[in-house]
Amino acid sequence: MIKVSVIGVTGYAGIELLRLLRSHPHIEIKHLISHSQAGERLDNIYPQFYGSKEIIMEKYDLEMLKDSDLVFTALPHGIAQDVVAELFEAGIKVIDLSGDYRYSKAGIYEKWYNIEHKYPELLASAVYGLVEMNKKDIKGAGLVSNPGCYPTSAILGLLPVINTEFVNQDSIIIDAKSGISGAGRSLSLTTHFTEADESVKAYKIAEHRHTSEIESTLQEFTATDIKLSFTPHLIPMKRGILSTIYINIKQEINEEKLSNVYSEFYKDSEFVKVFPGDVYPDTKYVAGTNYCHLGLKIDNRLNRIIIISAIDNLGKGAAGQAIQNMNIMFDLPEVTGLEDTALFP
Amino acid sequence: MIKVSVIGVTGYAGIELLRLLRSHPHIEIKHLISHSQAGERLDNIYPQFYGSKEIIMEKYDLEMLKDSDLVFTALPHGIAQDVVAELFEAGIKVIDLSGDYRYSKAGIYEKWYNIEHKYPELLASAVYGLVEMNKKDIKGAGLVSNPGCYPTSAILGLLPVINTEFVNQDSIIIDAKSGISGAGRSLSLTTHFTEADESVKAYKIAEHRHTSEIESTLQEFTATDIKLSFTPHLIPMKRGILSTIYINIKQEINEEKLSNVYSEFYKDSEFVKVFPGDVYPDTKYVAGTNYCHLGLKIDNRLNRIIIISAIDNLGKGAAGQAIQNMNIMFDLPEVTGLEDTALFP
Amino acid sequence: MIKVSVIGVTGYAGIELLRLLRSHPHIEIKHLISHSQAGERLDNIYPQFYGSKEIIMEKYDLEMLKDSDLVFTALPHGIAQDVVAELFEAGIKVIDLSGDYRYSKAGIYEKWYNIEHKYPELLASAVYGLVEMNKKDIKGAGLVSNPGCYPTSAILGLLPVINTEFVNQDSIIIDAKSGISGAGRSLSLTTHFTEADESVKAYKIAEHRHTSEIESTLQEFTATDIKLSFTPHLIPMKRGILSTIYINIKQEINEEKLSNVYSEFYKDSEFVKVFPGDVYPDTKYVAGTNYCHLGLKIDNRLNRIIIISAIDNLGKGAAGQAIQNMNIMFDLPEVTGLEDTALFP
Amino acid sequence: MIKVSVIGVTGYAGIELLRLLRSHPHIEIKHLISHSQAGERLDNIYPQFYGSKEIIMEKYDLEMLKDSDLVFTALPHGIAQDVVAELFEAGIKVIDLSGDYRYSKAGIYEKWYNIEHKYPELLASAVYGLVEMNKKDIKGAGLVSNPGCYPTSAILGLLPVINTEFVNQDSIIIDAKSGISGAGRSLSLTTHFTEADESVKAYKIAEHRHTSEIESTLQEFTATDIKLSFTPHLIPMKRGILSTIYINIKQEINEEKLSNVYSEFYKDSEFVKVFPGDVYPDTKYVAGTNYCHLGLKIDNRLNRIIIISAIDNLGKGAAGQAIQNMNIMFDLPEVTGLEDTALFP
């Protein structure tokens, strides 16, 4: 059994981690850490756990956490920095769900997050936990930085073509639509039911931090300088991200060839499914799962490819992907504990 | 491994059964039967299965189904009658999710469903599959009739008190609110998104068939004649039923005593959880699960108890309960394959 | 032109008042008062007003408000008390949307609201603004206390039968379902989108303040002591209340007779519509309007009537009713500015 | 009073037309025509009209309609062709809400709609009813072809810049998100509540008919050949379209200048509002109105402008715009009957 603890369990990513860990066959949960709710019973905050074995949340304590093989940190960015560094230096494996360790260069982080990075030397040890790109490095990592939700959906849609000769790397536009759990559990008018219901809106246009995460990850993958447009939108549903990705092509390509490029790229991926040409993904089909569904359309009239990428922002976009990373770090089959079909309807 | 088949797999109850069966550790799925979609791939209808082992739906064929230890029938009432009878007579265990075999007397069925019952002699062999009431009989049954969604939520709320001396059995009012998946996958204006969204409405007031199912089940349990009001409502969400149950009390009772009555009654039940006095159930906390959450309130000013009962209409109200029945019929631990926490949020 | 001002314009009731006042043909708006947003442009808070004539919100100032014939106060209870008293004593007509002046006896208010009433002598001057009950008194009133949303829907459903010989006044149960705007614009986890979406829950069972408002209003109407059960629920939509009302009958009554009792009672009411027996109200049909739709069902099997009452909680349940009261106070046709059909779908 | 009739009143656009016409001060409604519901009372189909003056729907009859000054045709494309031609030739003014008369060249229509156009000679008489572009021609028109919902939102977002020297006309991408009323009242699994709720999906990518309507309208405006990407999405709400429009710039431009270009272009437009730079439109702010809200963002890092355009698909995208056209055709102030503020929340 792998002994794991979760720091920041009361947020949506934390609680989804706990849901998945509880049904994982090789896990023993040691500690659930919550700064604000230490000493409280978990089922007082989340009654879905009522009647299960009593769980009391605890304060963060490095010594105490040394009984864990792995700690998941689901803390706000900025706050995660110190905790992750401390755990890592104590030799405990860490999967960090914040944005703090997702960049190889502290400068980009500091520019887009407007926060100083206190541990730039640690960034070289942190592996970006997108399994479909970095599986080998994740295997031996002591610190895995779990990708952001929007970046996961966008990057998985782009990886198979970004390095091919037929696309124009300078023409990428990502128009993403997210359910409102992506904004977390903190209260705001934007996420107040009566204001978010029957509403769709763009936000942080050309300024969202995930723009830089997508760009820097693709830059590492392609070894070229990539800049792209990313526009996030909030839509009235709980979970799910659909990214509609536009990229120009330099030469004609037919659907069969494009589909083969994608299928070949993901032929060993357990969780990325490439749909046939006439079917497009729907967030509903990945709800509660670690899957990413991709749909492809070539618009030869305009020399442009349109890629549709659907994930659950709390699944493949957060907790599911963290479990997938854990499985790889601990030499378990990648799909362990992640085989559920979407909850439908 | 228990060999099972599902008839009527493309409806919402059928697909939820399949979701649960796929993650059940002791199951081998033999056949998925769909009258209208025979020969089709399942993932053409439900893309959440895309990329999993190919599944082709088949036509109903009694001979073919003889390789199954158990068949789930998820067919419309009226149509289920013949199939269930045929399977049962061929010695195959059946769990029927329709209303056709839920009554001990054909007359009540015929009156409320306005259909002739062609196999009244079979009703004595059918066990009403509410585990919390009929566990022993289910164990040895060849035919289990899985309860309706509204009845499950209402009856579980009433069982602990209905036979006590402090309630007035003639005063029961059940006001139920259901998500729209309860109306199935057949198209209608009532369930058209734009008409159902931002809408709440009552329907079939004092005439819904489940009234008779609740009454006749409680009559068997109490051995007295029970009549009650049941009003179903549709509310704009996918899944979940919340029943608000009113019953008058003949003598004062305090919260502690009432809570003990419920806790005692359900002390061996894996799936019914009685909430403490100041917390009320929310359908959100049981989404995707087989749990029933109960909340209790005594209004001593009016000599009335109010009971809140929350289930997932496709979980404990249909497919989850069917799996629970299967586990008992095949001597497995009752919770096998049903231990997931609610998908939250 | 009637000169009006609104105090507390930035809440949902305030903004709905403003929407209605702007399209009212006999209104001149003098001041929009907001304590927290004084000095701000209204369209900074509510962009639906962007591009219309600039509106700057102001601080409360009694002298300034003396240019108004009428002031609407849309303030939280407790806070409204002083402002209403001050305006009334200065001779300005007031329509108060809070709960502060809805009771003839300060004692009941103090018990259910747990606040001292500082102006008990004013209660005799305050007319309860349910037009269908108190039209004559409203005409000459200097202070109208606008009814609560739940009470409006419940009382309109009960008025026609509560004094008849065939009902049992002691048997009333009101099970109400409300959209989430009823909880206002203040932030809370209960009204956070991701927690309220795909959820239905009861709250304040047997303890909601509106219980006492319904009871005391019916007591004044019947001159008997009325006690009843009232259970509010939150459902995932913006606007609308559906009340399902149960009342026992002492003697059989047929649908025609019952329907006539209702139609006769409301024959001069512009805004209450009694549906024929086979059609039930839906909140969707009253969205954005001042209408109340009533549906009736007799359950002779159980000697019980079920009454369905639908309103828009911000329309007939708040701002619409306030405009209706204003029209009557200023001798305008009751429907002026309130003739819109529901926004459908 | 203008005497008007509506053909196809039972669809969503038809019923919204009726809602607006009923509160329009200069309108007398002569006939409401419904093929499938002729002879029925309107309030049997749409109970929001219950209790208003009885309205019986009628069969289409050219002679009968000659008492009307104007007929609105809200029929499916293909079916509208004949009726519109017949009315027009009989000298009755027509505003057609279908796609049948939106193109100056029959060939484009026939290609994208895959239907023969039987009246190509009439196309020269039909004025495309986008007031902000064709106001003068609408004034004298006998046949106005009301724009599609997506095209209205997209074109209004592009008109001010499409002819300027600083944009690249070849780089337009329109990513549109629509509420589900856009799909009409016909039943389908796509619009079944349980399938559409908690779901977002793209459809008809690079193939939607409105692509050709946007292109040909912009071509007429610019006198150059314009091709663009248009991707429609369905999101779980009733009403509203948000178009996110991407267009590359050839030279740097600052926010002030861009904002001035838009404000100047729409300075005489009653219904198009250009938001300041830091505020983005939300469909919620235009619900039930004829407004179009525009937001602007310059991404100088990528030399790209992002334009956000929000309308109500049944308001400015259908019925509201039709009333606006009528006002202009009959020399009424453009805003008559269209001055309502959005229903909020």
In this prediction, what percent of chain B has a pLDDT beyond 70? 100
- State the smallest CA–CA distance between residue D159 and chain C in angstroms: 19
Judge whether residue A269 has pLDDT over 90.
Answer: yes
**Residue A217 · residue A194 · CB < 8 Å:** no
Which residues from chain C sit within 8 angstroms of residue D285, using beta carbons? 46-48, 50
- If you count them, how many residues does chain A have? 345
Do D103 and D213 contact (CB within 8 A), yes or no?
yes
Rounded Cα–Cα distance for residues C291 and C271 (Å): 5
pLDDT of D53 higher than 90: no
Whether residue D211 has pLDDT greater than 90: yes
- Beta-carbon contacts of A343 under 8 Å, excluding residues fewer than 6 positions away, are A287, A288, B19, B287, B288, B343
H or E stretch including B44? helix B42-45
Q: Which residues pair with B31 in a beta bridge?
A: B5
And the tokens for D18? 């009726």
Asked whether the beta carbons of A251 and A203 are under 8 A apart, the reply is no
Is the CB of D200 less than 8 angstroms away from the CB of A239? no
Among B49, B238, B282, beta carbon nearest to A345 = B238
Catalytic pick from C13, C149, C247, C310? C149
Residue A277 is predicted with a pLDDT of 81
pLDDT at res. A197: 98
Q: D6 to chain A, minimum CA–CA distance in Å? A: 28
Residues of B in contact with C179 (CB under 8 A): 198
Q: What are the residues whose beta carbons fall under 8 Å from the beta carbon of D319, sequence distance 6 or more?
A: D13, D16, D17, D19, D20, D97
Residue A252 pLDDT class (50, 70, 90 cuts): confident
Q: Cα A132 to the chain's mean position, in Å?
A: 12
Inter-chain contact C177–B281, Cβ cutoff 8 Å? Answer: no
Q: What is the largest CA-CA distance in chain B?
A: 63
Residue A251, pLDDT > 90, answer no
Helix residue ranges, H only, B121-228: 131-139, 149-162, 193-196, 209-222
For chain D, the residues whose C-beta falls within 8 A of a C-beta of chain C are: 12, 15-16, 18-19, 22-23, 46-52, 181, 198, 238-239, 273, 275, 279, 281-282, 284-289, 293, 339-345
- Cβ partners under 8 Å of residue C209, min gap 6: C99, C112, C113, C148
**pLDDT at res. D137:** 98
Which distant-in-sequence residues (6+ apart) come within 8 Å of D186 by Cβ?
Answer: none
Calculate the alpha carbon distances from A105 to A62, A75, A84, A149 in Å: 27, 21, 17, 20
**Residue B100 to residue B81: CA distance in whole angstroms:** 6
Question: Nearest CA to D11 among D44, D43, D45, D39?
Answer: D45
- φ/ψ of residue B5, rounded to 5: -130, 155
Question: What does the alpha-carbon distance between residue D271 and residue D266 come to, in Å, rounded to a whole number?
Answer: 9
pLDDT at C302: 96
- Please determine, for the modelled complex, whether the ipTM score is greater than 0.90: yes
pLDDT tens digit sequence for C186-232:
999 999 999 999 999 999 999 999 999 999 999 999 999 999 999 99
Pick the range with the lowest mean pLDDT from B72-76, C49-53, D122-126: C49-53
Q: Verify whether residue A292 is a known catalytic residue.
A: no
Residue to substitute from C15, C16, C193, interface A, most A β-carbons within 10 A: C193
Best mutation target among D192, D283, D344 (most B Cβ atoms within 10 Å) is D192
- Chain B, nearest residue to C236 by Cα: B236
> In angstroms, what separates the C-alpha of C325 from chain D's closest C-alpha?
21
Q: Provide the total of helices (H) and of strands (E) in chain D, helices listed first.
A: 11, 13
Enumerate long-range contacts of D158-161, CB under 8 Å, 24 or more apart.
D158/D218, D158/D245, D158/D247, D158/D307, D159/D132, D159/D133, D159/D221, D159/D265, D160/D261, D160/D262, D160/D264, D160/D265, D160/D266, D161/D247, D161/D258, D161/D261, D161/D262, D161/D305, D161/D307
Quick check: C278 pLDDT over 90?
no
Name the minimum distance, in Å, from the CA of B182 to any CA of chain D.
9
**Residues B302-345 pLDDT 10s:** 999 999 999 999 999 999 999 999 999 999 999 999 999 999 99
Assess contact for B311 and B149: CB atoms under 8 A: yes
What residues contact A53, with CB distance under 8 A and at least 6 apart?
none
Sign of dihedral through CA atoms C205, C209, C211, C212?
A: positive
Residue of D149, D196, D226, D322 marked catalytic: D149
Least Cα distance to D227 among B128, B78, A303, B325 occurs for: A303
Nearest CA in chain D to C263: D51
Residue B93 burial (CB count, 10 A): 20
Question: Which residues in chain D are closer than 8 Å to A182, comparing Cβ atoms?
Answer: none
The nearest CA of chain B is from the CA of C243 a distance in Å of: 10
Chains touching A (at least 3 CB pairs under 8 A) are: B, C, D
What is the pLDDT, as a whole number, of residue D88? Answer: 98
Contacts of D114 (CB under 8 A, 6+ apart): none
- What are D159-173's pLDDT values in tens digits? 999 999 999 999 999
Rounded to a whole number of angstroms, the distance between the first and last alpha carbons of chain D is 34
In chain A, what are the domains?
2-124 (3.40.50.720), 150-313 (3.30.360.10)
Mean pLDDT of the A268-284 span: 94
Let me know: does C95 contact C326? Beta carbons within 8 Å.
Answer: yes
Query: Tokens 């019914």 correspond to what residue?
Result: B272
What integer pLDDT is reported at residue B277 of this predicted model?
81
Q: Which residues of B touch C233 (CB under 8 A)?
A: 177, 242, 244
Whether residue B237 and residue D12 make contact (CB cut-off 8 A), yes or no, is no
| DSSP 8-state symbol, D122 | G
User: What's the pLDDT score for residue D232?
Assistant: 98
Q: Is C206 in Cβ contact with B198 (below 8 Å)? A: no
B neighbours by CB contacts (3+ pairs under 8 Å): A, C, D
Nearest to C344 by CA among C235, C236, C233, C239: C239
3-state DSSP assignment of residue D48: helix
Predicted pLDDT of residue B17: 98
Q: β-strands B241-248, B173-178: how paired?
A: antiparallel
Write out pLDDT tens, residues B171-195. 999 999 999 999 999 999 999 999 9
pLDDT in tens, D178-198: 999 999 999 999 999 999 999
8 Å CB contact of A342 and B15: no
pLDDT above 90 as % of chain A: 97
CA gap B112, C148 in Å, rounded: 40
On the question of pLDDT at B79 being above 90, the answer is yes
pLDDT score of D271: 98
Distance in angstroms (rounded) separating the CA atoms of residues A198 and A175: 20
Return the percentage of chain D with pLDDT > 90, whole number.
Answer: 97
d(CA C8, CA C83): 11
Contact B185 D196 (CB under 8 A): no
Residue with tokens 């997506």, as numbered in its chain: D150
- Are the CB atoms for C82 and C14 separated by under 8 Å? no
Token reading at D91: 């000298």
Report the pLDDT averaged over residues D142-166: 97
Tens of pLDDT, residue by residue over B230-287, are 999 999 999 999 999 999 999 889 999 999 999 999 999 999 999 998 899 999 999 9
Contact C341 D51 (CB under 8 A): no
Check: CB of residue B177 under 8 Å from CB of residue B233: yes
Tell me which chain A residues have a C-beta less than 8 angstroms from the C-beta of C180: 193-194, 197
Catalytic residue among A2, A144, A149, A318: A149
* Rounded Cα distance, D117 and D9, in Å: 24
Q: Where are the beta strands (DSSP E) in C169-252?
A: 173-178, 201-202, 229-234, 241-248
Residues of chain B with Cβ-Cβ distance to C203 below 8 Å are: 280
Q: What is the pLDDT of residues C82-117, one digit of tens each?
A: 999 999 999 999 999 999 999 999 999 999 999 999
Q: How far is the C-alpha of C176 from the C-alpha of B217, rounded, in Å? A: 28
Separation in Å, CA of B165 to nearest CA in chain D? 43
Residues of chain C positioned with their CB less than 8 A from the CB of D282: 47
